[in-house]
Amino acid sequence: MFIRSKRVFIDGKLKPACISIHSGHIGEIHSYTYMASEALDAGNWMILPGAIDVHTHMREPEAVQKEDFYSGSAAALAGGVTTYFDMPCYQAPPTTTVGALSEKERLAAAKSVADYGFHLGATNENGDLIRRLQPPSVKAFLSDTHSILSLTPSGFERHCSGLDKAKPLVVHCEDRVMAEKRAAQYKTHEQIRSPEVALSSVKFAAALGKKYKRRMHFCHLTTAAEIKAAKAGSGFIPVLDKKKKGAPLHTVEVTPHHLFLSDADLERLKGWGMVNPPLRERKEVAKLWKSLKQVDMIASDHAPHLPADKEAGAAGFPGVQTMVPLMLHAVLGGKLKLEEAVRLFSRGPAEAFTLQRKGRIAPGYDADFIIFNPQENWNVNLNDLHSKAGWSPYEGWKLRGKIIGVFLRGEQAVWDGEMQVRAGFGKPVQRLPMIGTERLDLRKHAKERYSLQ
């Protein structure tokens, strides 16, 4: 198969090219006129690498009325996200055992239309399990956002030393003790979980990361001060591209809602603006935009809740389908360069999470593409969104440019918003490094030995 365009994103620039695809991978990149009669011609539409979202909450198996692996992955694909990672913060059961993780793998294999991965959850009790398993990544909470997964300082340090230093320890940073003290002084969510609460926790985690010289990935940072603290003195590790000096030991992500929304939007959202960490003041949002060169990736923190849940105060926004469109809207509006946007939603996460065939349009990489028409605008309409959430903080926004199609491993997966592939088309991008009878034996005994229930 061949696909061509006058604007293919290759090595940081838009170039005319014809791409050959073999068995789901990019074969060679030829001149635009190569095999012209046989190639799918995208004309002046941009061909960009598929996006990678390392921070989603697909809700299955606990709350499938809010989202499941089919609806969530369909939302991802329609928004140009060809690979997503699911977070472990569930309570029935939490993804803190091999058994719980294996069940998620089974469900995603049957339902997901996009490629997927999972973060295993860290608890105060499962340090020995994680030390033995050495999963690809582990999620740690330093706040009471999810009580089952909330770590003590000593519990967090055990995971800092126990997980392979080259694997990312993914951390949610909010200082629990400071937040509790502020709750006695302040009333609003935004005042209680203030920037100071986040910064204190970032400094604590960064210090441990530096002490153990380990990979640390900081979720949803909301201020320039947090980014600076997370990056301070972290050093570098080798990356997939040998031409580069290395990737930072400490990587950081920011979310679209912390870039495109502020506490000034709370009145418009009419009580549905609750999110952790909270929306910040406009002056902090402006500083966050200026800090994007120090940011490794954009991540949606897709956390769908139904309208009734939001009315009851549930924290979180749906966002996996609107993440890439918002970033490309910013590009067309002159707020961000295209190469920076692609780095943030594609190459950056691929390098940080060592996805060796994702994140670039180059020979040998997966043929994951976004077909983007910068000339066509669209309105964020609930009827076009695949998530079960049934609402969006961006409803009614007019965005510049439109995703026309998405290819995953060489297959036309989405065209004009419609799914072209069936449930189960998605594939895992990484798995636990234990296989065969030992893995099965661990799955059999994991719940009784390590479950928190």
Note if 301 is an active site residue.
Answer: yes
Q: Which of 94, 78, 5 is nearest to 45 (CA)?
A: 5
Task: For residues 210 and 231, give the distance between their C-alpha atoms in angstroms, rounded to a whole number.
Answer: 10
- Count, in order, helices (H) and strands (E) of the chain: 16, 22
CB–CB of 114/73 below 8 Å? yes
Compute the residue count for the chain: 453
CB–CB of 91/148 below 8 Å? yes
Q: How many CB atoms lie within 10 A of CB 436?
A: 7
CB–CB of 73/84 below 8 Å? yes
Task: For residues 28 and 19, give the distance between their C-alpha atoms in angstroms, rounded to a whole number.
Answer: 6
Q: Which residues of 52-64 are buried (b: 16+ CB within 10 A; e: fewer)?
A: bbbbbbbbbbebe
CA angle 318, 342, 238 (to 5 degrees): 110
Task: For residues 26 and 321, give the distance between their C-alpha atoms in angstroms, rounded to a whole number.
Answer: 25
Q: Cβ contacts of residue 449 below 8 Å, gap of 6+?
A: 129
Q: Which of 442, 39, 38 is nearest to 16 (CA)?
A: 39
Task: For residues 64 and 57, give the distance between their C-alpha atoms in angstroms, rounded to a whole number.
Answer: 11
Q: Tokens at residue 261, please?
A: 């929304």
Q: Which of 68, 86, 301, 366 is catalytic?
A: 301
CB–CB of 423/111 below 8 Å? yes
Rg (CA), the chain: 21
Q: Tokens at residue 226, please?
A: 């947090």
User: Which amino acids are annotated catalytic?
Assistant: 301
